[in-house]
Chain A
């Protein structure tokens, strides 16, 4: 997805000219994300799942829950691991094989937003202290790629976790035994929402699509929780932000985030 061709240069000029007039290529306002649709329980074999479609970017997230041996220093907490993979069906430029730095960054930013928000109360996921805890694995598969995978994966994972149920275990002689067909609620404390913004020149735009993503100067992903506090942040791209721009981005992330949180709440209700 390089942008060295003449066409890309023309598109870049067009996007910048439009931004200078206050418009975007697809007609959105600067602080307007693309339309978000979320379907939950799309994969019945997973303990939780969601398909998120953010404009033309589509991600399927599945939550698997299994008993794990905890890490030595966190025997009093459950485990959470989020991953992300861009499938080769998503874009012609995707290659199979081990993930490169951009995909590793994607997975880690999605993981960090959910983890640092404390979305799941990890202390409630201990079966036998230091021996057996519940592990929640949220794996994101990007199936269609039109930019801003950070938010699409975050929304898919958040919705999948909200729709998840944890299988019930009984403890017999310090060994957890699965109780077939019974589930408990996933202990949710807050709903983290990431908002990714691109800076193109002096303009800050929310939820850049693929065209905008390719020509942006820098980007920032800010995750907020239900209380409107900031819980995680990642700057990327080959340029920087001024202090004033960062303050503006934090305000946008809180206001846009609260709207997206409502959409995700609505679409995961009744699970």
Chain B
């Protein structure tokens, strides 16, 4: 057992060469690949692999709102469902939505609201469905990144892309993109959503202890990670809409 900050762990989260448990350096993200337009029926969709996370995002809308009383005569509304498949984690997850999933759905919705422009579609809803097929830490960030690509793929007017990545702290060191192991045994996890052109943070949560200086560093490192993910998001859309041979 090695004592690392607050919690006990038998995993070496950061070795003497500055390498993490999965071989990454402190400010390196996991491998991220995104493909836009993967579903036939959805108005827009995306598939993301963020390390071992595998997530599908589908957009339906703008379409009529049911139940009707939710509709807003001034603007379209956004709705979001983040859902984990029962087989996505080690022990089977009960498929009914948990309190955690309901909260994450809400924070992802609120992270995307600043980006979408829905006042041209009053009384309608844009539904975002996020299905976590496999989870390995940082699913809300990966799901958010996929959701914004899917929204763009659906042709929803947007002020900016919303990118996402987490920062955190393991072995008293601020790191980028916390994986599951680091989340469980580390000292802090700070998921972040960011609009890279408007320079606005639209999703921010934290659990774990950070000094004020570490907090600032975490936000800076997180923004840097979001900028990296943003490039991959753009590439996914370019591949679908501007690649040679296609229309």
**Which residues of A does B touch, CB under 8 Å?**
4, 101-102, 104-105, 107-108, 112, 115-118, 218, 220, 225, 228-243, 246-247, 250-251, 254
Q: Do residues B200 and A229 form an inter-chain contact, with CB atoms below 8 A? A: no
Contacts of A229 in B (CB 8 A): 209-212
A235: shortest Cβ distance to chain B, in Å? 4
Q: Do residues A235 and B203 form an inter-chain contact, with CB atoms below 8 A? A: yes
Q: Quick one: which of B199, B202, B210 contacts A239, CB cutoff 8 A? A: B202
Q: Do residues A243 and B201 form an inter-chain contact, with CB atoms below 8 A? A: yes
Q: Do residues A116 and B204 form an inter-chain contact, with CB atoms below 8 A? A: no
Q: Knowing A105-B103, A108-B103 touch, does A235 contact B209 (C-beta < 8 A)?
A: no
**Which residues of B does A touch, CB under 8 Å?**
6, 72, 74, 99-100, 102-103, 105-107, 110-111, 113-114, 190, 194-195, 198-212, 215-216, 219-220, 223
A-B contact pairs, 19 of them (CB 8 A): A101-B105, A102-B106, A104-B102, A108-B100, A112-B207, A118-B209, A229-B210, A231-B209, A232-B206, A235-B202, A235-B204, A235-B205, A238-B113, A240-B111, A240-B195, A242-B199, A242-B200, A243-B220, A251-B212
Contacts of A112 in B (CB 8 A): 207
Q: Do residues B200 and A231 form an inter-chain contact, with CB atoms below 8 A? A: no
Q: Do residues B99 and A243 form an inter-chain contact, with CB atoms below 8 A? A: no
Q: Knowing A230-B212, A238-B110, A240-B195 touch, does A116 contact B103 (C-beta < 8 A)?
A: no
Closest to A246 in B: B219
Contacts of B215 in A (CB 8 A): 230, 250
Contacts of B102 in A (CB 8 A): 101, 104-105
Closest to B192 in A: A235
Contacts of A107 in B (CB 8 A): 99
Q: Knowing A240-B200, A243-B219 touch, does A235 contact B99 (C-beta < 8 A)?
A: no
Contacts of A238 in B (CB 8 A): 110, 113-114
B90: shortest Cβ distance to chain A, in Å? 11
A234: shortest Cβ distance to chain B, in Å? 5
Contacts of B114 in A (CB 8 A): 218, 238-240
Given contacts A104-B102, A218-B114, A234-B204, could you give 16 more A-B pairs where the C-beta distance is less than 8 Å? A101-B105, A102-B106, A105-B102, A105-B103, A112-B207, A220-B204, A230-B206, A230-B211, A233-B205, A233-B206, A235-B203, A237-B110, A241-B201, A242-B199, A247-B216, A254-B212
A64: shortest Cβ distance to chain B, in Å? 20
Closest to A222 in B: B206
Closest to A105 in B: B103
Q: Bound state CA distance, A243 and B195, in angstroms?
A: 12
B161: shortest Cβ distance to chain A, in Å? 13
Q: Bound state CA distance, A112 and B209, in angstroms?
A: 12
Q: Do residues A240 and B201 form an inter-chain contact, with CB atoms below 8 A? A: yes
Q: Do residues A105 and B212 form an inter-chain contact, with CB atoms below 8 A? A: no
Q: Quick one: which of A104, A225, A232, A242 contacts B201, CB cutoff 8 A? A: A242
Closest to B184 in A: A73
Q: Bound state CA distance, A101 and B109, in angstroms?
A: 11
Across the A-B interface, the 7 shortest Cβ-Cβ residue pairs: A240-B200, A233-B206, A240-B202, A238-B113, A235-B204, A116-B207, A101-B106
A74: shortest Cβ distance to chain B, in Å? 12
Q: Bound state CA distance, A115 and B107, in angstroms?
A: 20
Contacts of B216 in A (CB 8 A): 247, 250
Q: Do residues B207 and A230 form an inter-chain contact, with CB atoms below 8 A? A: no
Q: Knowing A101-B106, A237-B110, A240-B195 touch, does A116 contact B200 (C-beta < 8 A)?
A: no
Contacts of A115 in B (CB 8 A): 207
Q: Do residues A232 and B202 form an inter-chain contact, with CB atoms below 8 A? A: no
Contacts of B210 in A (CB 8 A): 229-231
Q: Quick one: which of B100, B207, B212 contacts A228, CB cutoff 8 A? A: B212
Closest to A225 in B: B209
Contacts of B194 in A (CB 8 A): 240
Q: Knowing A101-B103, A104-B102, A250-B212 touch, does A241 contact B204 (C-beta < 8 A)?
A: yes
Q: Do residues B223 and A232 form an inter-chain contact, with CB atoms below 8 A? A: no
Contacts of B202 in A (CB 8 A): 235, 239-240
A270: shortest Cβ distance to chain B, in Å? 29
Q: Knowing A112-B207, A251-B212, A254-B212 touch, does A105 contact B106 (C-beta < 8 A)?
A: yes
Contacts of B195 in A (CB 8 A): 240
A222: shortest Cβ distance to chain B, in Å? 8
Contacts of A102 in B (CB 8 A): 106
